Amino acid sequence: MTLDDVVLTPLARIEAVGGDVLHAMKQSDAGYAGFGEAYFSWVSGGAVKAWKRHMRMTMNLIVPLGRVRFVFRADGGDEFRVEEIGVDRYARITVPPGIWFGFQGLAEPQSLVLNIASIPHDPKEVERRAVTEIPYGWN
């Protein structure tokens, strides 16, 4: 996999009386690779959660609340791809298996990340590294 395999898809935000409707994903969308589970993750402003690489899971990452910087790196590569999404840039990032990634909360007090995953969580299919093991300047 290469960084070009990470796909950014703008999403619809429909204004509605009483509160907006935020689209996330349809079965017919590009990037849909099956459904295993959906889960939310809070990230505090300034906090970094890095590094992970899924071996089988395709992730579809959405930030409906706050703003988050996602950083991606292909295995063995020296280049990074950075995408910031959130309330003011509402989009979905599709991440195929084999890509290292980490993320940082950019909004105070916290941001909310939704992952629509292609398979249920399996600790045996994910590899983790400490934040210091992949050199990236988070500040």
Mind listing the pLDDT tens digit for each residue in 29-83?
Answer: 988 999 999 999 999 999 999 999 999 999 999 999 999 999 999 988 889 999 9
pTM: 0.94
Output Rg (C-alpha) for the chain, integer angstroms. 15
Closest to 85 in 3D by CA, of 102, 106, 100, 101 = 106
Tokens of 37: 């589970």
Q: What domains are there in the chain, each with its CATH number?
A: 3-128 (2.60.120.10)
